[in-house]
Structure 1
Amino acid sequence: MLKKYSNTSLFWPVFFLSIIGLIMVYSASEVIALDRYDDAYFFAKRQAVFLLLGFMGMFIVENIPYTWYKRWARLLFLGSLFLLIIVLVPGVGLVRGGARSWIGLSTINIQPAEIIKVSLIIYLCEVNERLKYPVSHFSRGMMPRLVVILCCFFLVMLQPDLGSGLIIVLGGLAVVYFQGAQMKHFYGLFLIGVIGLTGLILAAPYRIRRLTAFLDPWQDPLGSGFQSIQSLLAIGPGGLLGSGLFNGKQKHFYLPEPHNDFIFAIVAEELGFFGALMVILCFIVFFSRGLRMSLLLTDTFARTLCLALMMMMISQAWINLAVVTGLLPVTGLTLPFLSYGGSSLVINYMAVGILLNIEKHTV
């Protein structure tokens, strides 16, 4: 089945990232899994199931013509919006880490914020085909799109989940930008965004603690700065070749939840600079191949959809890597295709499926 993908396909960097991710999820979680569940393979087995579901979803979506989304974009978006609303209802939404972000269905938990990231992009691409006024017209073109983006953002912030909210905004603005918005409008939006983000940080004490921990993690090394310090203590000693696969120390109850948001720190510790560079290069290859593909597309809908989906995944990867290396405050975002988690992995693979279907129209 894999032979059908050419050597220049978008599939291969994603495939390699997922294999690395599965191995590193086991390595990063074995100690915690053994302590909590008396099974060192607990998280790795679940990640393998998520990966299988992701592959299945990708293969299904890959065979759906991308033009299909023009017809069903509104229904997909409204369904995602409905899930984003009902997750806020007590008894329906599950609370983890202080955020009501999951809907529990038997043994499977769904994170609506992951679904809205993709459905919003599809909807905004479809809107451009339908609205009379172009996005370059601010009040009647750009403003309606911004209202939709902000509605999604505020619903996610009610959970609250600032990290996912930022990716939703970045994905939505990527669509608006690629549709031909004027840069002068973005300058104003940037200023408003900085003011709004400052307000959101000041409104929540835990976000203030994260910001101060980012500026000086050693000010509270056992509290808000603990995760950042332990991440750097994992990356630093890794050196060029690392301590060896499965030989890391930070996963021994030093770095909290090392198989989730901070899995890249374990990669750097165990596989060293070259292992970390291999992961980064996979993301670069994925981005460059997607960019090349978009330049070959003549369909405006397909080109915008391709670029925006890529920007969504790459921006999330960049933010995660920046957080893990201490360049940004902790946001709670996973590293696409590597971090443990079902909703994120499956939805990202389905997004790749859309890109692979578009890729068929460039060859």
Structure 2
Amino acid sequence: MAINNKKKGKGAVDFTLFLSVMMLVFIGIIMVFSASWPESMMKFGNGYYFLKKQLVSGILGFFVLLLCMNLDYKIYKKFSFPIYILSIISGLLLFTPLGVEIKGATRWLNLGFTTIMPSDIIKIGSVIFFAAFLTNKRDKIDSLAHGTIPALVYIGISCGIIVAEDLGTAITLAGTMMAMFFVAGMKLFHLIPLTVGAMGALWYAVNDPDHPHRIKRITAFRDPFADKLGSGWQVVQSLYALGSGGLFGLGLGKSRQKFFYISESYNDFIFAIIGEELGLLGALFVLILFMIVIWRGIVISLKIEDIYGCFLATGITALVAVQSFIHIAVVTSSIPTTGITLPFISFGGTSLIINMAAIGILLNISRHVNFGRS
């Protein structure tokens, strides 16, 4: 479904995509408020603390979405390299006095008036640049020297900086960029050494002695109930939340697990609170909204005639798909625990604004698509 805006000389906007994202943001604001109430009261004496911050981020994100929606996406190709360099620099700033440690991890930059997560900036910057790279190399993508090796170098640079902050986020970006590379026409034979190398790098990252919590998460994934008071605590509590929700849920605001049983209940495990309070039906509704967003993104990437627009739409869609899949898989104990937020829903100003900016870009690409009767 699309809205035509010919009076202003613009093409069609994918209204289905726009509406689905705004519904996710709205649900996110409500669920952040519900899930964060106990911690807001304990730490700040104000149950509305996280709600206010998320609401402000949502409003700012909405205006950023509108701006990106009305800015020709082709301009990003022209400035893709400077955008990429700036995003990489933002990640390197974590190793300066601007980097601050919160809850045992240095993932934030303290700008004085606010804190931001460079990993979110690197993700969108990498997608914009990688789409331009694939466009420029489209006739040599299947070449080892001119296609595969340079692509892996850029993927390695982007993910290498992020892995110092968070392994899960690095995996998300790697999956996104590999999806773009696959769509661009990478030679499948090159996947063999790539897979071996990726598995080796992942093994090293998991067993890194400087990050002992990673191997504990693998152990907890295999049997979380074996150490349900230790390494398996978070996963067990998440499963309790989902199980107690039943079909219709306990009711909005009536979660029990958010009362300090699940840490980061308004962030990395917010889908568990959704399942507990809104039940299976509520969780399925959120899943359907994400499926609609991904479906519309795929349609846009398939129908856009411009090759850069195709790769850029693919990257943005894959970023949302991979991140949401990992978050939900973690909450349901389908994969080992990692700190990944749920796009548009989890608490986090940088994440919400960047994700809405990305959707704004995708909506602008949709203006150049002839949807017909879709």
Q: Secondary structure at the match of 2:95?
A: coil
Q: Secondary structure at the match of 1:136?
A: coil
Q: Deviations over 1:227-253 (max 9, x none)?
A: 000000100011100101111111111
Question: In the alignment, which residue of structure 1 is the partner of 2:158?
Answer: 152
CA distance in 1, matches of 2:170, 2:356: 20
Q: CA deviation at 1:357?
A: 0.4
**Which residue, out of 99, 103, 108, partners 1:93?**
99
1:120 aligns with 2:126: yes
Mapping of residues 94-243 of structure 1, within 5 Å:
94-131=100-137, 134-159=140-165, 161-203=166-208, 204-243=211-250
Mapping of residues 35-46 of structure 1, within 5 Å:
35-46=42-53
Q: CA deviation at 1:307?
A: 1.0
Contact 2:54 2:349 in 1 (8 A): yes
**Which residue, out of 251, 271, 275, partners 1:264?**
271
Q: CA deviation at 1:94?
A: 1.0
CA distance in 2, matches of 1:172, 1:221: 36
Question: In the alignment, which residue of structure 2 is the partner of 1:297?
Answer: 304
Contact 2:121 2:354 in 1 (8 A): yes
CA distance in 1, matches of 2:361, 2:291: 19
CA distance in 2, matches of 1:301, 1:210: 39
Contact 1:210 1:329 in 2 (8 A): yes
Contact 1:55 1:349 in 2 (8 A): yes
1:314 aligns with 2:304: no
CA distance in 1, matches of 2:308, 2:53: 36
Q: Deviations over 1:181-217 (max 9, x none)?
A: 0112123312221222112111132111011011111
The CA RMSD measured in Å over matched residues stands at: 1.7
Q: What amino acid is the match of 1:28?
A: A
CA distance in 1, matches of 2:133, 2:58: 32
Q: CA deviation at 1:131?
A: 4.2
Moved over 2 A (4+): 2-9, 128-133
Q: Secondary structure at the match of 2:100?
A: strand
Q: Percentage identity across aligned positions?
A: 36
Mapping of residues 65-84 of structure 1, within 5 Å:
65-84=72-91
CA distance in 2, matches of 1:130, 1:324: 39
TM-score (norm 2): 0.93
TM-score (norm 1): 0.95
Q: Deviations over 1:129-183 (max 9, x none)?
A: 3348611101222111111110121112223x10111112112212211111011
CA distance in 2, matches of 1:100, 1:59: 32
Q: What amino acid is the match of 2:126?
A: L
Q: Secondary structure at the match of 1:102?
A: strand
**Which residue, out of 11, 14, 20, partners 2:27?**
20
CA distance in 1, matches of 2:4, 2:191: 43
Q: Which runs of 5+ in 1 are unaligned?
A: none
Q: What amino acid is the match of 1:141?
A: G
How has the CA–CA distance of structure 1 residues 229 and 3 changed in structure 2, closer, same or farther, with 3 Å as cutoff? farther
CA distance in 1, matches of 2:70, 2:15: 19
Q: Greater CA deviation, 4-13 or 214-223?
A: 4-13
Q: CA deviation at 1:313?
A: 1.0
Question: In the alignment, which residue of structure 1 is the partner of 2:62?
Answer: 55
Q: Which runs of 5+ in 2 are unaligned?
A: 6-11
Count of residues in correspondence between the two structures: 360
CA distance in 2, matches of 1:115, 1:167: 13
